Chains A and B, each alone.
Chain A
């Protein structure tokens, strides 16, 4: 299991999610080479004047590393981390390079994909990024060209968001948890309207506990019952059918997720569980 200190940097950051098809001829021994090549690519892109952020002098240092602990089963490939930092201008010993962009590839229990893939391919279906979109697109282009893979933004449907909120609201947490919040967007209106529905975390967990029959197992029926209870409670008070609106964001003390494919993981204990779910979503988008 991953050392919480090593994975602490993953928590409390908003990650933009992508699905990635298997990488062709990716060699873990060549990570330093890849860092150099990517660095050269980025420098060349800057020269061309693409994706320039006004006023920022770019001398980007690239680091590519392996995160051995970040995986689910032995069949999973270890995660690969890409870090882009701004080389410090000053020569003083105390100045550190400023981290401007982070991206990591991972697979947590991604056996569905890796089982069926030929020898030369490395399966790391989930890609998470934090930082400017311009860097994401440069890193993505380089990986696509070098390893013949394909990146796609991972959108999360309301169906999947409701699974997430049911699962995460039911997680046992030792310290006081933040509210469980669901945000809905109401369609067909001239002015967009968002409805935010906040539930006390203990109430949400109590509700889930009455619904879930087998600990460790979740069925679609149980998620439906959980959501129906929340919807009817809301309807009783506000006479609004939330089931006719679009669930766009869910937030719990464990993690939060937005339908545009943006996730924030807040609790290290549940990091593998969240990553496993996201890996599954990424794989189903690829297949």
Chain B
């Protein structure tokens, strides 16, 4: 399900399935996208930040078109205890591997992988970041 911002329209609340993972997409070429994400975060219930949120930064292939500082996004990830993934959607290979990564995360968050919870997965990812 795609949305341009949060909160989601309340009219369809009763039709909506359970949300297992929220991916906030930030386009490194658009300051506006960061602002929208920052504003939308306020509408997310705190329980999601236990491994069911991740930030996806797109457009990183074009270093010269940056309108956002990478450190600002990393700080956001740290503040919300959620991983930050970087990708370039214009490259098919990276697009495919990013999609696979997100799908894997979603499987874990939806509880389809026995023995791995969203929370344990997140702490695994954070430990590798610190290295």
Assess whether A158 is in contact with B67, with CB atoms less than 8 Å apart: yes
Return A182 CB to nearest CB of chain B, in Å: 13
* A149 proximal to B (CB < 8 A): no
- The distance in angstroms between the C-alpha atoms of A16 and B64, with both chains bound, is 16
- The distance in angstroms between the C-alpha atoms of A244 and B64, with both chains bound, is 16
A-side interface residues, number (CB < 8 Å): 17
Known A-B contacts A159-B68, A159-B69, A220-B69; A243 and B31 likewise in contact (beta carbons under 8 Å): yes
CB-defined interface of B53-68 with A at 8 Å, one 1/0 digit per residue? 0000000000111111
Assess whether B32 is in contact with A158, with CB atoms less than 8 Å apart: no
CB-defined interface of B65-100 with A at 8 Å, one 1/0 digit per residue? 111110010000000000000000000000000000
Return B66 CB to nearest CB of chain A, in Å: 4
Assess whether B64 is in contact with A246, with CB atoms less than 8 Å apart: no
Assess whether A157 is in contact with B63, with CB atoms less than 8 Å apart: yes
Residue of B nearest to A259 (CB): B64
Assess whether A243 is in contact with B66, with CB atoms less than 8 Å apart: no
Residue of A nearest to B30 (CB): A244
Contacts of A227 in B (CB 8 A): 31
Return A236 CB to nearest CB of chain B, in Å: 15
Return B32 CB to nearest CB of chain A, in Å: 4
* A187 proximal to B (CB < 8 A): yes
Task: Classify the interface of chain B: helix, strand, loop or mixed.
Answer: helix
* B117 proximal to A (CB < 8 A): no
Assess whether A157 is in contact with B30, with CB atoms less than 8 Å apart: no
Return A278 CB to nearest CB of chain B, in Å: 15
- Given B33, B65, B72, which contacts A244 in the complex, CB threshold below 8 Å? B33
Return B71 CB to nearest CB of chain A, in Å: 8
* A63 proximal to B (CB < 8 A): no
Contacts of B29 in A (CB 8 A): 158, 187, 246
- Given B33, B35, B65, which contacts A158 in the complex, CB threshold below 8 Å? B65
CB-defined interface of B24-68 with A at 8 Å, one 1/0 digit per residue? 000001111101000000000000000000000000000111111
- Given B33, B65, B72, which contacts A157 in the complex, CB threshold below 8 Å? B65
Assess whether B65 is in contact with A243, with CB atoms less than 8 Å apart: no
Residue of B nearest to A161 (CB): B67
- The distance in angstroms between the C-alpha atoms of A245 and B33, with both chains bound, is 10
Residues 222 to 238 of chain A near chain B (Cβ within 8 Å): 227, 231
* A155 proximal to B (CB < 8 A): yes
Looking at B29, B31, B32, B63, which has the most chain A CB atoms within 10 Å of its CB?
Answer: B31
Assess whether B69 is in contact with A243, with CB atoms less than 8 Å apart: no
B residues bordering A, Cβ < 8 Å?
29-33, 35, 63-69, 72
What are some 30 contacts across the A-B interface (CB < 8 A)? A155-B64, A157-B63, A157-B64, A157-B65, A157-B66, A157-B67, A158-B29, A158-B65, A158-B66, A158-B67, A159-B66, A159-B68, A159-B69, A162-B67, A187-B29, A220-B69, A220-B72, A227-B31, A231-B31, A241-B32, A243-B30, A243-B31, A243-B35, A244-B30, A244-B31, A245-B30, A246-B29, A246-B65, A247-B67, A259-B64
Given contacts A187-B29, A231-B31, 13 further A-B contacts (CB under 8 A): A157-B63, A157-B65, A157-B66, A158-B65, A158-B67, A159-B67, A159-B68, A220-B69, A220-B72, A227-B31, A243-B32, A244-B32, A245-B30
